[in-house]
């Protein structure tokens, strides 16, 4: 059996780490394209100037428009070429990070997340949108980022809701990897990119991937609430450090090497209705995880643990929590159909999944979540 495991070349996390950014840039040259929004750059400008001066490097700013679109990617690539940049630095949230990946396109890349809301920093894929923000395609690269640099001081000062949303995304990691392992599904780590892709067979997950996915889940349960409390105080504690690692590194390695399944597919289905659009990715994935557990008839104790964790840290457990107060039969059917579309990750579950089953588990998850909330 062919198996695969991929990672960034280096992951560094700690207080004040942004001051060392110039050191990592220096490994590739002395000029870096800085993909960051005007407001994102302003937030850390003083530190960027200090690290540039200390390590004698130059950051070429970009005034990133906020959308990972083909037009913006082309504009920034041209800026990098005009300024003779030796590497690309993606600083900010998910879209700045993904844009930097696209601009670099396999060339030297440093990722500096300013929140722990997703597992995008470590991965070798990006999501591209139109200029108007409509999903267009997934793009895969020949390798993961060269460096992922996480400054926990910056994370501690980011909005608490972003940290909690990251926990929601990370919550699905173990359960989706487990279902992929049971079904012997292909994983992202085996996806071929670039030359020779037609000749490259897919790959399955490793035991290492499952161990990391399980550690991700265990870390959420042990440190989630205390990390949230630390973020509310804008302070770095061991629990916050552990959750930043779980949200960013463990979840990132877990989803690429362990695989995705029903939780993320149900999230995709929820995009069919407008109400959840105001909610973060991880918030919707958390509800999708509850749906997945009901779909696979997980043990009551496991479902109880997951729902109680969500209530403890403030993640959604029912449709109303993601803005859906009423759901017509037609909309429910549409959500389920999208979740079960051809090529959807839901087909990595270890049994056939049909739209009717998804619709039923969404309704059951909603009722279960509302019941737990009423008893809280």
Quick: pLDDT tens for 85-134: 999 999 999 999 999 999 999 999 999 999 999 899 999 999 898 888 76
Gyration radius from the chain CA atoms: 20
Q: Is 94 within any annotated ligand binding site?
A: yes
Phi, psi (deg, nearest 5) at residue 15: -70, 130
Residue 257 resides in a domain:
yes
Selected catalytic residue, list 86, 146, 151, 169 = 169
Are 152 and 192 found together in one domain? no
Task: Please report the pLDDT score of residue 79 as a whole number.
Answer: 97
Residue 283 resides in a domain:
yes
Residue 5 resides in a domain:
no
Tokens of 243: 């959750």
Task: Confirm whether 264 is a catalytic residue.
Answer: yes
Query: Average pLDDT, stretch 60-83?
Result: 96
Q: Is 95 within any annotated ligand binding site?
A: yes
Residue 109 resides in a domain:
yes
Host H or E run for residue 127: strand 125-129
Res. 137 pLDDT band, cuts 50 70 90: confident
Residues 266-295 as b or e (16 or more Cβ within 10 Å = b): bbbbbebbebbeebbbbbbbbbbbbbbbbb
Are 189 and 228 found together in one domain? yes
Q: Residue 327 class from Cβ within 10 Å (0-12 exposed, 13-18 middle, 19+ buried)? A: middle
Q: Where does a domain end: 128, 156, 184?
A: 156
Stated pTM of the model: 0.94
> CA-CA distance, 71 to 142, in Å (whole number)?
22
Are 148 and 168 found together in one domain? no
Are 329 and 368 found together in one domain? yes
Query: Average pLDDT, stretch 312-318?
Result: 98
Are 171 and 145 found together in one domain? no
Task: Please report the pLDDT score of residue 195 as a whole number.
Answer: 41
Host H or E run for residue 128: strand 125-129
Q: Where does a domain end: 156, 183, 209?
A: 156
Selected catalytic residue, list 267, 268, 279, 321 = 267
Phi, psi (deg, nearest 5) at residue 167: -65, -35
Are 108 and 152 found together in one domain? yes
Are 132 and 185 found together in one domain? no
Cα–Cα nearest to 98, from 153, 137, 47, 63: 137
Residue 202 resides in a domain:
yes
Task: Please report the pLDDT score of residue 130 as a whole number.
Answer: 86
Task: Please report the pLDDT score of residue 193 as a whole number.
Answer: 54
Are 85 and 168 found together in one domain? no
Task: Please report the pLDDT score of residue 129 as a whole number.
Answer: 87
The shares of helix, strand and coil residues in the chain, as percent rounded to the nearest 5, are 60, 10, 30
> CA-CA distance, 255 to 193, in Å (whole number)?
18
Residue whose tokens read 């739209």: 355
Mean pLDDT of the chain: 94
Are 171 and 65 found together in one domain? no
Task: Confirm whether 267 is a catalytic residue.
Answer: yes
**pLDDT above 90: percentage of residues in the chain:** 89
Task: Please report the pLDDT score of residue 272 as a whole number.
Answer: 87
Q: Where does a domain end: 156, 179, 198?
A: 156
Are 258 and 168 found together in one domain? yes
Are 147 and 178 found together in one domain? no
Are 165 and 143 found together in one domain? no
Q: Is 138 within any annotated ligand binding site?
A: no
Q: Give the C-alpha distances (Å, rounded to integers) separating 201 from 33, 197, 302.
A: 35, 8, 35
SS3 string, 193-250, reads CCCCHHHCCCCECCHHHHHHHHHHHHHHHHHHHHHHHHHHCCCCCHHHHHHHHHHHHH
Selected catalytic residue, list 264, 279, 321, 366 = 264
Residue 170 resides in a domain:
yes
Task: Confirm whether 277 is a catalytic residue.
Answer: no
Which CATH number characterizes residue 254's domain?
Answer: 1.20.1090.10
pLDDT tens per residue across span 187-204: 998 875 544 445 567 899
Selected catalytic residue, list 223, 281, 321, 366 = 281
Task: Please report the pLDDT score of residue 192 as a whole number.
Answer: 55
Which CATH number characterizes residue 18's domain?
Answer: 3.40.50.1970
> CA-CA distance, 32 to 91, in Å (whole number)?
12
Query: Average pLDDT, stretch 71-93?
Result: 97
Task: Confirm whether 124 is a catalytic residue.
Answer: no
Residue 3 resides in a domain:
no
Residue 345 resides in a domain:
yes
Total domains present in the chain: 2
Task: Please report the pLDDT score of residue 200 as a whole number.
Answer: 65
- Containing domain of residue 347, as a range? 160-375
Query: What is the spatial order of strands in the sheet that 109-113 belongs to?
Result: 10-14, 147-151, 109-113, 87-92, 31-35, 58-61
Cα–Cα nearest to 364, from 265, 278, 287: 287
């Amino acid at each position: 059996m062919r198996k695969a495991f991929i990672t960034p070349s280096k992951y560094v996390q700690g207080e004040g780490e942004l001051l060392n950014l110039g050191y990592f840039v220096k490994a590739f040259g002395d000029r870096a394209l800085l993909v960051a929004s005007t407001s994102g750059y302003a937030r850390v400008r003083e530190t960027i100037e200090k690290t540039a001066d200390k390590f004698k490097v130059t950051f070429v700013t970009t005034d990133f428009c906020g959308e990972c679109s083909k037009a913006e990617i082309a504009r920034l690539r041209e800026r990098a070429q005009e300024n003779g940049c030796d590497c690309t630095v993606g600083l900010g949230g998910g879209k700045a990070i993904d844009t930097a990946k696209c601009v670099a396109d396999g060339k030297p890349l440093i990722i500096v997340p300013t929140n722990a809301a997703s597992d995008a920093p470590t991965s070798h894929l990006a999501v591209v949108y139109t200029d108007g923000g409509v999903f267009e395609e997934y793009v895969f690269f020949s390798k993961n980022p060269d460096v992922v640099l996480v400054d926990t001081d910056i994370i501690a000062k980011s909005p608490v809701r972003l940290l909690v949303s990251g926990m929601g995304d990370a919550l699905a990691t173990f359960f989706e990897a487990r279902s992929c392992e049971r079904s012997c599904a292909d994983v992202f780590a085996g996806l071929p990119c670039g030359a020779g892709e037609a000749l490259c067979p897919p790959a399955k997950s490793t035991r290492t991937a499952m161990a990391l996915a399980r550690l991700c889940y265990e870390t959420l349960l042990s440190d989630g609430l205390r990390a949230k409390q630390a973020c509310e105080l804008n302070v770095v504690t061991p629990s916050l450090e552990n959750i930043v690692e779980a949200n960013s590194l463990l979840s990132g390695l877990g989803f690429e090497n362990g695989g995705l399944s029903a939780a993320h597919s149900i999230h995709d289905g929820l995009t069919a209705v407008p109400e959840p659009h105001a909610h973060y990715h991880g918030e919707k994935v958390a509800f999708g995880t509850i749906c997945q557990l009901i779909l696979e008839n997980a043990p009551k104790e496991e479902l109880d643990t997951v729902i109680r964790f969500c209530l403890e840290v403030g993640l959604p457990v029912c449709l109303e929590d993601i803005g859906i107060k009423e759901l017509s039969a037609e909309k429910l059917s549409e959500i389920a159909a999208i979740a079960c579309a051809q090529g959807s990750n839901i087909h990595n579950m270890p049994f056939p999944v049909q739209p009717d089953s998804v619709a039923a588990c969404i309704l059951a998850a909603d009722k279960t979540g509302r019941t737990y909330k009423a008893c809280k």
